[in-house]
Amino acid sequence: MVAANPILTDAWYPLRYHRKQARFIRCKRRFIGLDCGRSSGKTELCRRRMVETLAERVPGCRRPMYFYSAPTWAQAKRIAWQPFIDLIPKSWLLPGSDGINRSDMVLRTKFGSELHIIGMDKPERIEGSQYCGGITDESSDMKPGAFHKSILPALSIHRGFCWRIGVPKRQGPSAGEFREFCELNRSGDDEDSISFTWPSDQIVDAKTLAQAKRIMDIRDYNEQFRAQWQKSGGGIFYAFDEEQNCKRCNYDPNRVIVVGMDFNVDPMAWVLGHLYRDKDGEERWEWFDEIFRKDTNTPEVLKILFNKYKNHKGGFMFCGDASAKARHTSATDSDYMLIWDHPGFKKLGRKVEFPESAPAIEDRFAVCNAMFENAAGQRRCFVDKVNCPNLFTDLRTRFFKPGTRVVGDSGEQGHMTDAFGYPVFQFTPVDARLSTEAGGQIYIGAAA
């Protein structure tokens, strides 16, 4: 352990670096890769190193320019703008708007140095100027080729440095480039380049890690917290195991039937299950039946469902995709009104749940995989493959297109697992979802 950086402002709360972090702090190589765990301190350390750099002289350069970049302008502003203002001593900055240019997100110091906060959704923002160094954050989510085509040329004249940092993601526009960069430099044989990695478990508290293991599947956990590069397999529901997640799932006439619905006309796919919660609030899904019909409509499928379960005593919960107010949906407001107004289901008791807008499809897949098997090895989602043959087949055969994160559905594929995924995602507590959006955060909290 080594002592923290000197306290320059109130934002420089004391840090104690572990060995790998200390090696990064002392490292003077030009290109450094940091493929580290989420919330493990990589961004904070880079910000502090950058602030100290602003006060250093650069031989032959009267106005050294530096940058911090993120995949989008909004991310760059959120992650870096105010934190940098808080870290830089006010006495270092030029007075007024000369020191803090909010519209262009530029900070100028009395030493002649400048720090530019840049969103790389438009790589041309960094082009046309020469920088003495910079940071690329959330590197897996940068536009493909942006580092080589836009950033490297901007560092050429002054032989500027660059710290490429991020979580080792399976997916992301530049995930492959970032992985290749970090792994190529891991040995440290190149005198210009090196990479460091460390997991989150030396930084994040044990309670948070234990909760993350419960809500995340093993590959997401290994990636986000253990900082381990995972194979990017093509199977969407890779955590589903026929032996472990298939069993006889019994229908209980006294328990609420959760109905997951995909409203596509040909085919229309609905899946039926029970949601169990134990005394500790742990959830378990058991899917016991399905309705899969071609060339049909919502009233016809409602009729089939009601005739089969017209003596059910536990009530119904209908869950589906967002209504027609959202883009790329097969559901309409009228579909939900048909369910709500159905006299038979009114008598039996029904609730209708659907989101205002569709969740990111990767978020929905991640939640489903975590229910099939989380990072703690728990399996909390089971399918009766005899009574749900289309759901079973869809879980086994749904893939991404080779080399992409684009869903490769064809024919009737995808509708039943969409129907299944809507309620699984909808009933997962909001505080316990992993956001896979670029630059997204992991939110972990008590079940709602």
User: Interior CA angle at 168 toward 161 and 239, to 5°?
Assistant: 175
Distance, in Å, from the CA atom of 327 to the CA atom of 325, rounded to the nearest integer, reads 7
Residue 42 confidence (pLDDT) above 80: yes
- Retrieve residue 258's tokens: 């959760």
pLDDT attached to residue 331 = 59
Q: What is the reported pTM? A: 0.68
- The residue segments making up the domain with residue 143 are 19-202
Is the separation of the CB atoms in 315 and 350 below 8 Å?
yes
- Retrieve residue 308's tokens: 């089969």
- Retrieve residue 365's tokens: 């897949």
Residues 44 and 150 in one domain: yes
Per residue in 337-390, pLDDT (tens digit) is 999 999 999 999 999 988 777 778 888 999 999 999 999 999 999 999 999 999
Distance, in Å, from the CA atom of 277 to the CA atom of 29, rounded to the nearest integer, reads 53
Residues 274 and 382 in one domain: yes
Tokens 């350069």 correspond to 61
Per residue in 286-316, pLDDT (tens digit) is 999 999 999 898 999 999 999 999 999 999 9
Distance, in Å, from the CA atom of 31 to the CA atom of 378, rounded to the nearest integer, reads 41
Higher per-residue pLDDT: 378 or 188: 378
pLDDT attached to residue 359 = 76
Distance, in Å, from the CA atom of 374 to the CA atom of 406, rounded to the nearest integer, reads 24
- Total domain count for the chain? 2
Q: Confidence class of residue 429 from pLDDT cuts 50, 70 and 90?
A: low
Is the separation of the CB atoms in 177 and 80 below 8 Å?
no
pLDDT attached to residue 408 = 84
Domain final residue pick, 180, 202, 224: 202
Per residue in 391-428, pLDDT (tens digit) is 999 998 898 886 677 888 877 889 999 999 999 998 87
Nearest to 72 by CA among 64, 63, 81: 81
Per residue in 256-276, pLDDT (tens digit) is 999 999 988 788 999 999 999
Q: Confidence class of residue 233 from pLDDT cuts 50, 70 and 90?
A: low
Does residue 90 fall inside a structural domain?
yes
Residues 265 and 344 in one domain: yes
Residues 180 and 301 in one domain: no
Nearest to 120 by CA among 83, 148, 93, 85: 148
Higher per-residue pLDDT: 441 or 110: 110
Query: For the chain, what is the total number of helices (H) and then of strands (E)?
Result: 17, 14
Per residue in 43-71, pLDDT (tens digit) is 999 999 999 999 999 998 999 999 999 99
Does residue 11 fall inside a structural domain?
no
CATH code at 308?
3.30.420.280
**Mean pLDDT for the chain?**
88
CB count within 10 Å of CB 187 equals 10
Residues 294 and 158 in one domain: no
Residue 448 confidence (pLDDT) above 50: no
Does residue 233 fall inside a structural domain?
no
Residues 298 and 374 in one domain: yes
User: What would the mean pLDDT of 80-84 be, rounded to a whole number?
Assistant: 97
- Retrieve residue 175's tokens: 């995930």
Does residue 339 fall inside a structural domain?
yes
Q: Confidence class of residue 18 from pLDDT cuts 50, 70 and 90?
A: confident
Is the separation of the CB atoms in 263 and 336 below 8 Å?
no
Residues 246 and 197 in one domain: no
Residues 325 and 378 in one domain: yes
Residues 300 and 364 in one domain: yes
- Retrieve residue 384's tokens: 């009766």
User: What would the mean pLDDT of 103-113 be, rounded to a whole number?
Assistant: 96
Does residue 231 fall inside a structural domain?
no
What is the CA 173 to chain-centroid distance, rounded?
A: 13
User: What would the mean pLDDT of 169-193 be, rounded to a whole number?
Assistant: 87
Nearest to 223 by CA among 236, 234, 212, 210: 212
126 backbone φψ class: left, alpha, beta (φ>0; ψ -120 to 50): alpha
pLDDT attached to residue 443 = 28
Residues 83 and 198 in one domain: yes
Distance, in Å, from the CA atom of 442 to the CA atom of 437, rounded to the nearest integer, reads 10
Higher per-residue pLDDT: 234 or 419: 419
Does residue 366 fall inside a structural domain?
yes
Distance, in Å, from the CA atom of 207 to the CA atom of 204, rounded to the nearest integer, reads 9
- 3-state secondary structure (DSSP) of residue 195: strand
Domain final residue pick, 153, 182, 202: 202
* Cα–Cα distance list, 7 to 12, 83, 85, 113, 133 (Å): 5, 15, 15, 21, 23
pLDDT attached to residue 399 = 86
CATH code at 94?
3.40.50.300
Nearest to 35 by CA among 153, 155, 163: 163
Residues 195 and 249 in one domain: no
Does residue 226 fall inside a structural domain?
no
188 backbone φψ class: left, alpha, beta (φ>0; ψ -120 to 50): left
pLDDT attached to residue 433 = 47
pLDDT attached to residue 1 = 27
pLDDT attached to residue 136 = 98
Does residue 227 fall inside a structural domain?
no
Alpha helices in 343-426 (DSSP H): 343-348, 361-372, 389-397, 415-426
Residues 290 and 193 in one domain: no
- Retrieve residue 406's tokens: 């684009």
Residue 441 confidence (pLDDT) above 60: no
User: What would the mean pLDDT of 155-176 be, rounded to a whole number?
Assistant: 92
pLDDT attached to residue 141 = 92
